[in-house]
Structure 1
Amino acid sequence: FAEKHKIKFILNGGNISTECVRNPLDYFYYGTDMWQIRDIHGRYGQMQLVNFPFSGILRHKVYLRYFKGVQVVKPLDYIPYIKRDAMRLMSEKFGWQIYARKHFESRFTKFYEGYWLPVKFGFDTRRVQYSSMILTGQMTREEALTDLAQLPYDEKTIAQDFEYISTKLGISVAELQGYLEAPTKSYKDYKNQLYLFSLGARVMQLMGLEERAVKR
């Protein structure tokens, strides 16, 4: 979109203040690894992905940035950003409604992060999110542990969420439940470019072009 409309700057809400701890690769692998996407689609896909928009790592890290001059800017890294203060400001000044947890503004990500990841993979995204908040002084360890003691999803509405998500995906609730109960997989079970990703990130860090650490 940026290339098509000659947009040179993309504003991004990512920030070090609340995201200095990265998600483990086993649960949040690179969505730009085209080797992996093609391998998974080759094994399980049932239709050609003719018009589906993909953006490989070389395209958005090298081509768009250095050949097309498209830059991703993260304004929150240039100001003193305290999440709680920002939420209060938006609520009081603009009538913004606070939602239960990070990424819960979408029913899909709410289901995925709040239910699917912890139930199927045993991974609670709050552990990473709260770790960042603790390191930046926005939450105490005790506060984090108290919240982590509570389920990340609502047991009373999970059946409705299952029905909603399955409908959106165009499958039955039984099929979605089958995926939940199927053996777990990770990026290691498919072809991937992790070695090249890690090497490229290291080179860019040495050249001063990439400051953020590789996901672990």
Structure 2
Amino acid sequence: MGNTIIQKGKEKQICSRCIYDETVNGIYFDDNGVCNFCHTMENFLEKYQTGKPEGKKKLERIISQIKIDGKGKKYDCVIGVSGGTDSSFLLAKLIEWGLRPLAVHYDNTWNTAIATENIRKVLGKLNVDLYTYVVDNKEADDIFQSFMKAGVPELDASTDLALAEVMYRAAAKFNVKYVIEGHSFVTEGIAPIGSMYFDGKYIKSIHKLFGKLPMKTYPLMNFSAMMKWTLLKRIKKIRPFWYIDYNKEDARNYLQNEFNWEYYGGHHLENRITAFQHSYFNYYKFGIDNRNLSLAASARSRLMPRNEAIDIYYNQPPFIEDGLIDYFKERMGLSDEQFEKLMNVPNKNYKNYKTYKSLFEALRPLFYLLAKANLVPMSFYIKYTSKDNMTQRKY
């Protein structure tokens, strides 16, 4: 496979290492045809010594500090759980490493039965306590519909932000200083900002314009809350998979053997609103294929042959669970006509609405220090505070 691809009769330059093409926001290529996103991942591999002895030592030092800071407390860390591969496997690893985690779940009321059972099976066998925050289902659906009416692709952004807020709240409630996250840049990459963006102001502004119900139970993280958790409470975010080898297929096999855990068919498909966004909404309305993150990451990390990743991405549409679209319409109370009307709202993006983006950019030096101290993820600093999105500079 060369460095160009023909799609819809048009030739596009494609990264010689991953599968990103010239249409990706903020992309550029070096003399060898390698994109800046791949170089950023190379910089991460060097910084975190991912999968190498030094990376393992770095993580061991962090784990030792978590144990010291958690001495005398019921829990020494919190971890978000969804019933998916990453969080389930990471939870098992935390117990193996001798930590005492509190599992935190934000229930947006769209969980699949498989995900709910997976959480029960893993936590039950590991004897881990669960802290669950359940949002009002009508309120959650009103926020989701607001994003459809706004014509933006981040349909499920409210879930991601709410989980982060709920984890911070749980950590503060139990005086815990560490939030553990199951993200892996090796297997997932980092989303280009043109594909997906969200913050508390973005969610609030869209809901104010298009929502019908007040936000009473939704745990919104605004800027002041973010500053409280990071600067005042000094709650750190740790991503263990950034330091060690992590293979999703091996993780799934382990979970199935140890916990009778069940696979749900694809990345983020354990939740039906997320599955709708990734499999249908973004793909057919915006031409955004959210699989590009994991496929590009798998290709650049040689977890999957590049040709295979390219074939899947450019030639095979996303898998759609049987009945998913009908379930979405029924759950939202939408007729076929109303659904089609929402699907045909003029496409917009985060730049058309109020966000914290300019504030994040202005505070870039502060967020660099916070990222260096693990108080915000380094990926947040790169994606949200840079005007030119990702660059090849070393972090």
Q: CA RMSD in A?
A: 2.4
Residues 120, 180 of structure 1: 8 Å contact kept: yes
**Identical-residue share of aligned pairs (%):** 25
Higher strand share: 2
Residues 186, 298 of structure 2: 8 Å contact kept: yes
Task: Say which structure, 1 or 2, has more relative contact order (CA 8 Å, 6+ apart).
Answer: 1
* Structure 1 runs, 4 residues or longer, greater than 4 Å off: none
Correspondences of 1:195-206 after superposition (within 5 Å): 195-205=358-368
Q: Could you say which residue in structure 1 is the equivalent of 2:235?
A: 70
Q: Secondary structure at the match of 1:130?
A: helix
Correspondences of 1:97-108 after superposition (within 5 Å): 97-108=262-273
Correspondences of 1:1-216 after superposition (within 5 Å): 1-2=169-170, 3-20=172-189, 22-30=190-198, 32-34=199-201, 36-60=202-226, 62-148=227-313, 149-154=315-320, 157=322, 160-205=323-368, 208-209=372-373, 211-212=378-379, 213-214=382-383, 216=389
Q: Secondary structure at the match of 2:363?
A: helix
Residue ranges of structure 2 left out of the alignment (5+ in a row): 1-168, 390-395
TM-score (norm 1): 0.83
Partner amino acid, structure 2, of 1:19: E
Task: Supply the distance in 1 between the matched residues of 2:224 and 2:303 (Cα, whole angstroms).
Answer: 36
Residues 204 and 147 (structure 1 numbering): CA distance in 2 closer, same or farther, change over 3 Å?
Answer: same
Task: Supply the distance in 2 between the matched residues of 1:136 and 1:202 (Cα, whole angstroms).
Answer: 30
Residues 200 and 134 (structure 1 numbering): CA distance in 2 closer, same or farther, change over 3 Å?
Answer: farther
Residues 17, 82 of structure 1: 8 Å contact kept: no
Whose radius of gyration is greater, 1 or 2? 2
Q: Secondary structure at the match of 1:26?
A: coil
Task: Supply the distance in 2 between the matched residues of 1:205 and 1:69 (Cα, whole angstroms).
Answer: 15
- CA offset at residue 38 of structure 1? 3.2
Residue ranges of structure 1 left out of the alignment (5+ in a row): none
Residues 201 and 135 (structure 1 numbering): CA distance in 2 closer, same or farther, change over 3 Å?
Answer: farther
TM-score (norm 2): 0.48
Larger CA deviation: 116-125 vs 169-178: 169-178
Task: Supply the distance in 1 between the matched residues of 2:347 and 2:215 (Cα, whole angstroms).
Answer: 25
- CA offset at residue 49 of structure 1? 1.9
Residues 300, 306 of structure 2: 8 Å contact kept: no
